A = this chain, B = another copy of it.
Amino acid sequence: MLRTHTCGELTKTQLNQEVTLCGWVQKIRNKGFIVWIDLRDRFGITQLVFDEQRTSKEVFQKSLGLGREYVIQIKGKVLERESKNSNLLTGEIEIMVEKLDVISKSETPPFTIETETDGGEELRMKYRYLDIRRDPIRENLIFRHKVTLEIRNFLSNANFIDVETPCLIKSTPEGARDFVVPSRINPGQFYALPQSPQTFKQLLIIGGIDRYFQIVKCFRDEDLRADRQPEFTQIDCEMAFITQDDILIQFEEMIKHLLKKIKGIEINSFPRLTYSESMSRFGSDKPDIRFGMELTYLDDVLKNKGFDVFDKSESIIGISIPEASSYTRKEIDSLIEWVKKPQIGSKGLIWIKYLSDGSFKSSIDKFFTDDDFKKTVEKTKSKAGDLILIMAGAKKSIQSQMGMLRLEMGERLGLRNPKLYAPLWIIDFPLLQWNEDDKRYYAMHHPFTSPKTEDIDLLDTDPSSVRANAHDLILNGNEIGGGSIRIHDSKLQKKLFSLLGFSEKKYIEQFGFLIDAFKYGAPPHGGIAIGLDRLVAILGGSETIRDFIAFPKNNSARDVMIDAPSKLETDQLKELNLKSLNK
């Protein structure tokens, strides 16, 4: 060891001991006759003193040559500080340095290595190894380590077995795009990187593993949205001989355990909402239930009063914004602009101010009476001082638009408190979604999801009304996990593939091994996959997953630090029997 202690452990207990420390120079305060240096490592900061009177001339001189981020080794004596710093673990002591060795010099870093930095995103990513030296990023990585290990031990104690599944698998063009890997030994053929170990975990269950988990890298070649990564980490789990209820209970326990162990927060049982209830109340299948502002259906109150926009709409939905009746015309106009953005896609917004004196002011004064407004207020449970925002149109569209507006207002009013944790389950998703462009059904989760037993007959008559035995785990408005009871019967699985437009030749070619496996005694099974990156970020009080990934890629799927991807050498391509069409 090049040190006797870390920079985070010395206290008065070690007074007068000779110690050796290593670390980075964080800060230098030079008073001329005395130099203080903050020495930093992962464990903390220790104050060093070089004193013209008490330090040897040679060492004192040397200290004057130090700069920020120099790596040094020092030997010295632990002394009690005159002015203690109770914010530091080592704040009671300082080291009177007797010996100083510079291990590595440092050029001036491209940004300041402090909690608050002057480095922009791009620069921080290019020098990520310096960014990691900053307290918040380092603490995020340590936090991720702790959460992950806690999950592993929890699942292991619950009899789950960690099994590694392969990374070089087979491409299945259903779902998102695969990353592929050319095989040199099998020319003209490719592996794919897994989007999830779905079929493998099912095979492990068929193989009798009973309870499986894995914390595993998965890959998706998508056009990147903000805060998505081409490679991401999944807590992947599967259980045999269970019902959906067992899965929900098991993973509810896990999240509760994490919240208690890591955050000291106790949570009661998670609400369970059906997909249709969630859409209806929150306009979203991943509702943030830390605040109310639920969607209210105003058709019976506001329809057929002569206001054309309402009368011709399928549905009228309002939400009540607490204490917002004082919004100015300008503020309301900016909200109207906001809902008209293409990402929201609303045609507009109607507003009713329920003023604190009990009177009303509204953009539709002409068409409605105070009595209509009173009924609206009753229905939306508004209080004097609230602002009611209303949309009218096709029900599904305005549900989701109102859902987005609700979230935005929650954000603006500071109701999305990152210190609160509000998990819930969404269940009873539709099994299939009709796509008007392709004129075919797509699986809402994936093709292995089991329909609800009572809905199986509807597969023949009304596929879009079939509900799936699927469940999403939602935390603070984020989908952090999803899963289902799986099909374990080859006939039903074949039927699903057919409904999804697979020819028999195709599904046998791609999933024949799974259909075969069902022939040799498949147990009922199901599971869940939870996004580790996002779970950790939310538990860590952030919604930016990049801050919890050591070496993330940017929005063009590039690693700007190592500069990947990059061109190959000609020989490499040749060996792979490939020709690049970009030259």
Q: When the two chains form the complex, which single residue of B42, B107, B567, B577 contacts A580, counting CB atoms closer than 8 Å?
A: B577
Q: Is the CB of B567 within 8 A of A188?
A: yes
Does A165 interact with chain B (Cβ within 8 Å)? yes
- Chain B residues whose C-beta falls within 8 Å of the C-beta of A223 in the assembled complex: 185
* A577 and B568 form a contact (CB under 8 A): no
CB-CB under 8 A from A518, the residues of chain B are: 104
Could you tell me if B553 and A166 are in contact, using CB atoms closer than 8 angstroms? yes
- Report chain B residues within 8 Å CB of A184: 177, 221
B565 and A164 form a contact (CB under 8 A): no
Q: Are B582 and A579 in contact (CB under 8 A)?
A: no
Give Cα A163–Cα B563 distance, bound, in whole angstroms: 21
| A170 CB contacts on chain B under 8 angstroms | 559, 562-566
Contacting residue for A186 out of B207, B217, B243, B558, CB 8 A? B558
Q: Are A566 and B189 in contact (CB under 8 A)?
A: yes
Residues of A222-270 contacting chain B, CB below 8 A = 223-224, 230-231, 233, 240-243, 246
A187 to B221 alpha-carbon distance, docked (Å): 13
Does chain B have a CB within 8 A of A210?
Answer: yes
Bound complex: CA A391 to CA B562 (Å):
51
Interface string of A517-533 (1 = CB under 8 A from B): 11111111000000000
- The answer to whether A187 touches B513, judged by C-beta atoms less than 8 angstroms apart, is no
Would you call B145 and A24 a contact (CB within 8 A)?
A: no
In the complex formed, the residue of B with least CB distance to A22 is B241
Residues on B with C-beta less than 8 A from A558 are: 186
A546-563 CB mask vs B (1 if < 8 Å, else 0) is 000111010011110111
Residue A204, interface by CB 8 Å = yes
- B224, B559, B576: the one contacting A180 at CB < 8 Å is B576
Known contacts A181-B181, A186-B556; is-contact A141 B163 (Cβ 8 Å): yes
Q: Which of B141, B156, B183, B580 contacts A161 (CB 8 A)?
A: B141
B141 touches A149 (CB 8 A): no
Q: Does A152 contact B (CB under 8 A)?
A: yes
Asked whether A71 lies within 8 Å of B167 as measured between CB atoms, the reply is no
Complex contact B129–A565 (CB within 8 A) = no
Smallest CB gap from A186: residue in B? B565
CA distance A103 to B523 in the complex (A): 7
Assuming A22-B241, A489-B104, A565-B186, is B193 touching A181 (CB within 8 A)? yes
Across the interface, which residues of B come within 8 angstroms of A40, CB to CB?
208
CA distance A61 to B311 in the complex (A): 66
Cross-chain contact B129 with A142 (CB below 8 angstroms): no
A285 to B489, CA, bound (A): 53
Segment at the interface with B among A130-138, A321-329, A375-383, A392-400:
A130-138
Q: Could you mark each residue 447-468 of chain A with 1 if its beta carbon is under 8 Å from any beta carbon of chain B, else 0? A: 0000000000000000000000
- Asked if A549 and B164 sit within 8 Å, CB to CB, the answer is yes
Whether A567 and B164, one on each chain, are in contact in the complex, defined by CB atoms closer than 8 angstroms, is no
> Across the interface, which residues of B come within 8 angstroms of A233, CB to CB?
164
Partner among B42, B210, B577 whose Cβ is within 8 Å of the Cβ of A581? B577
For the complex, what is the distance from the CA of A444 to the CA of B323, rounded to whole Å? 72
Q: How far is the CA of A557 from the CA of B167 in the complex (A)?
A: 12
Q: Is A179 an interface residue (CB 8 A)?
A: yes
Partner of A520, one of B109, B187, B551, B580: B109
Q: Contacts A161-B142, A185-B556, A241-B22 known; A572 to B173 CB distance under 8 Å? A: yes
Chain A positions near chain B (C-beta within 8 angstroms): 1-3, 6, 22, 24-25, 40-43, 69-71, 103-107, 109, 127-133, 138, 141-142, 144-145, 148-149, 152-153, 156, 161-171, 173, 177-193, 199-200, 203-204, 206-211, 217, 219, 221, 223-224, 230-231, 233, 240-243, 246, 488-489, 513, 516-524, 549-551, 553, 556-559, 561-569, 571-572, 575-583
Using A217-B217, A513-B562 as known contacts, list a sample of 5 further A-B pairs with CB atoms less than 8 Å apart, ordered by residue number in A.
A70-B521, A128-B207, A170-B563, A188-B581, A199-B562
11 contacts between A and B (CB under 8 A): A2-B242, A103-B524, A104-B518, A148-B162, A165-B551, A170-B565, A179-B181, A179-B191, A180-B181, A188-B567, A578-B581
